[in-house]
Amino acid sequence: MKSSIEQVLDKVRHLWPEHDSAEIMAELDRYGVEPHERERDRVQLGILKLSGGQLKRLPALVDIAKGDYRDVLAYAEYPEEARLSYEVKRRLPPEELQAIRARDREKYLRWLHGESKRPA
């Protein structure tokens, strides 16, 4: 699934309809300016999801993404799996790990498409 700036803008407007989306985008756009800051739209969506609808969380989440964008993606897109330690994941039967990933993906897609304002 390819993320786009339109999805980011739609989600910003959905989460904070009473705020100036340009100001919110200015904060989000701090991520993606350096060459190592990859997948800008996808990471920005992850930041929005992890914010839980709390505007005051954006600066810290952008800072986390600037440090290592994979942290944002893991917890935004695969939160149940991300909470598991390496040792626990290693011991899980493959079908159970696959089921966890499928649940995480389903929740993310529901959030992305507006079926849930807050992350699960």
* Domain region containing 86: 5-112
Query: Distance between alpha carbon 66 and the CA centroid of its chain, in Å?
Result: 13
State how many domains the chain has. 1
Instruction: Give the CA-trace dihedral at 29, 33, 38, 40, to 10 degrees.
Output: 20
pLDDT tens, residue by residue, 84-117: 999 999 999 999 999 999 999 999 999 999 864 4
pLDDT band per the 50, 70, 90 thresholds, residue 32: very high
Is 62 inside any structural domain? yes
Inter-residue contact 21 to 8 (CB < 8 Å)? no
pTM score of the predicted model:
0.90
Instruction: Annotate 37-77 with three-state secondary structure.
Output: CCCHHHHHHHHHHHHCCCHHHHHHHHHHHHHCHHHHHHHHH
Is 76 inside any structural domain? yes
User: Residue 97 and residue 78: Cα distance in Å, rounded?
Assistant: 11
Is 118 inside any structural domain? no
Tell me, what's the pLDDT at 74? 97
Is 51 inside any structural domain? yes
Is 26 inside any structural domain? yes
